[in-house]
Amino acid sequence: MSTHNVADQMWDMLAEAGVKRCYGIVGDALNPVIDSLRRNGRVEFIHVRHEEFGVFAANSEALLTGRPVAVCGTAGPGVAHLINGLLDAKHESAPVIAVAGDVERTIMDTDGLEELNPYYFFQSASLYTGRVVRADQARAVISTAITTALTERGPTVISMPGDVAKEPAIPHRFTVPKVDATPPTAPQADIAEMAELINQARKVTIFAGDGCRYAQEQVAALAGVTCAPVGFTFRGKEWIEHCTPNAVGMTGLLGWGGAYDAIHDADLLLLLGCDFPFTNFLPSGVKTIQVDKNPGHLGRRMAIDLGVVGDVGATLSQLLGYLEPKTDRGHLDHHLKQTEHWRQKMRHYVKAGPKTKPIRPEFLTATISDLADDDALFFVDTGTPCMWASRYLRTTPERRIMGSFTWASMASAAPYGFGAALSYPGRQVVSLCGDGGYTMLALGDLITQAQHGVRAVNVIYNNSCLDFVNIEQQEAGYIPYGVDMPNPDLAKVATALGARGIRVTEPGDVHDAVAEALAFTDGPVVLDVVVDPTALTRPSHIPKATAEGFTLSVAKRVFTGNIPELVHEARDNLGLL
């Protein structure tokens, strides 16, 4: 491969590796790099208003397509804006390659203007960081960044000084690494031990995570053979909820259904492809087998009796032939009945929704789920949108439900939706946005969405509050403080920025407004829905410390004169009882 300069060489290599887009902002140190991108013609540059928005969009594209995606920021402050999105990419396993502008070599290590040490700065966010300081070193750095992103599924960084980018390149060959797609199967001895433990157990429960995305048939078959209830993590919901009749919901503070009790009532718990971090919702005295292709996940959340390194699907395919079918459905039927009771209870505010004001977020989310296409792409902000999505978004084999579920950053839903809309322009893209996250990051880049004319629906749960923080403060026993957040009419703002704006304040208008937003194909939509700020959910299990914290918070609010507010909250949530 022959190129003109080092930057040309880099873009040729990235394009050969499958990069089709680069999201970012140009400027000073990056100017020669961007000029090379312009001349390359194979990588589309997406100019965003904020680099962090661009990285979240790239994460979405990379996770949905499996291809590597590039992002860029110029030296110093521009590079600094990449960091939160790259941390999300690392935790969500998105192959994103960041091109970081760097100061010229003559002023490195002199505390020059906009100088930043890329090794220290990106240490926590990047699987590999390379600094290109010579033309004859460029191929090795760029190749390593590409190979690491593809094989380890995570972010890497190429730090590129502007003076090096302009240097004549050294001709070289580059071969895109072939990633072995053969899923690793667990050792035969481990499979035999798993089978023995499962066959001996009377009550088996499965708790499934994102590692089951390619193992839906095997998980369903295992659940059928063992009469096992199947709980799932939030990241596992999109793969598991619809694939087995044995699904019993979730545990944790988002928990609903029979999952918590099924996990604790079991003789044997099977953790399949999940790394559930909320250890106070996991049992301490239940015999447990954990299967995960990442050995670092084994046993780090709870004590386990057998840790099995291997792909879930490949391992279960081998395991199923060794199992003795169970016929006692008592454990399963009990928790299925419990789950159905939860489903009926959760429908209270959905059924009452058309006549309940302020608008209930349960009703809004269920309406979106009912009216959206069966292959819609959903993106969920950290915060109360996760509460409503975990309960009221219906899954199908083609729908996707994604978000910053492992890193838990605010403001990810709208940019995730933007990346998806560019990658899949024919599909419905729906971002469920908290008003705090949306006004934090997405408003400026609504202009970017409008500029590209993407079909993306941004649903704003407008409660004028950092609501999840409000709940967290009450759980900890505090009086909510610093969470109020007056908002403008976000539909009018959207219209001014070139998008379609729809504002909903009356519950009777929700159905038609959602239908209108989903049907709109001529650019982005902002559906600004004023929802009840006091709406709560009740998890299937409330830890003692959480109950005590809420009680203490209520007592403090009583003694500080907030009784009318408490009465209002209680009245608005009677349907949870």
Rounded CA separation 44/213 (Å): 30
Q: Both 333 and 442 in a single domain?
A: no
Helices and strands of the chain, counted as H and E runs: 25, 19
Per the model's pLDDT, the better-predicted residue between 138 and 4 turns out to be 138
Q: Is 521 a domain residue? A: yes
335/358 same-domain check: no
Nearest Cα to 68, choosing from 154, 179, 161, 163?
154
What are phi and psi for residue 411, nearest 5 degrees?
A: 70, 25
- The number of distinct structural domains making up the chain is 3
Quick one: 21 and 137 in the same domain? yes
For residue 51, tell me if it sits in a domain: yes
479 and 505 housed in the same domain: yes
CA 412 to chain centre: 8
For 365-422, how does the pLDDT look when each residue is reduced to its tens digit (9 = 90+)?
999 999 999 999 999 999 999 999 999 999 999 999 999 999 999 999 999 999 999 9
Q: What tens digit of pLDDT does each residue of 249-259 get? A: 999 989 999 99
Task: Decide if 179 is inside a domain.
Answer: no
Q: What is the CATH number of the domain that holds 483?
A: 3.40.50.970
Point out the domain boundary residue: 340, 356, 384: 340
Residue 390 shares a structural domain with residue 306? no
Residues 289 and 351 in one domain: no
For residue 115, being part of any structural domain is answered with yes
Please give the span between the terminal C-alpha atoms of the chain, in angstroms, as a whole number.
68
The rounded mean pLDDT for the chain is 93
Q: Is residue 178 part of a domain?
A: no
Domain encompassing residue 262: 188-340
CA nearest neighbour of 51 among 69, 78, 20:
78
Best CA proximity match to 434, nearest among 405, 456, 457, 412:
412
Q: Of the residues 279, 311, 340, which one is the last residue of a structural domain?
A: 340
Q: What is the CATH number of the domain that holds 252?
A: 3.40.50.1220
Q: Are residues 333 and 436 in the same domain?
A: no
Q: What is the pLDDT of residue 2?
A: 47
Give tens-digit pLDDT for 460-503.
999 999 888 888 888 778 888 899 999 999 999 999 999 999 99
**Which one of 286, 314, 340 terminates a domain?**
340
More confident residue, 76 or 555: 76
